[in-house]
Amino acid sequence: GENVEQHPSTLSVQEGDSAVIKCTYSDSASNYFPWYKQELGKRPQLIIDIRSNVGEKKDQRIAVTLNKTAKHFSLHITETQPEDSAVYFCAASKGGSYIPTFGRGTSLIVHP
């Protein structure tokens, strides 16, 4: 089955810095890669996703890159703000009818 590794487990940055979280996956058939943000005590919410037919997707301060050859994808947050502090999860799946495999999460702390 699919295996998703996520690094780092904890990331501490100063407000205004950039943050990068990386994930690798094992199943070359995976074609959908979402990122979820989970604030303390809240539900995970999708913040951005990418499908295997594109290499990069951007939405304001967040971007995701995908390297299918190397089987890794990354989340980039620029100009971080304290409200970006949360746990971020990556996932990989073969599509909507398949069970996604989640990474173990990255706790991002943005210091004001």
Partner 1 sequence: GAGVSQSPSNKVTEKGKDVELRCDPISGHTALYWYRQSLGQGLEFLIYFQGNSAPDKSGLPSDRFSAERTGESVSTLTIQRTQQEDSAVYLCASTQGYEQYFGPGTRLTVT
Residue 50 near partner 1 by CB under 8 A:
no
Q: How many residues bind partner 1 (CB under 8 A)?
A: 22
Interaction pattern, residues 79-108, with partner 1; x per rule: CB under 8 A? ----------x---x-xxx-xxxxxxx---
Q: Write the DSSP string, the chain.
A: ---EEEE-SEEEEETT--EEEEEEE--TT--EEEEEEE-TTS--EEEEEEETT-SEEEETTEEEEEETTTTEEEEEE-S--GGG-EEEEEEEBSSTTS--EE---EEEEEE-
**Closer of 43 and 112 to partner 1 (Cβ):** 43
- Least distance from C-beta 34 to partner 1, angstroms? 7
List of residues contacting partner 1 (CB under 8 A): 32, 34, 36, 42-46, 49, 51, 89, 93, 95-97, 99-105
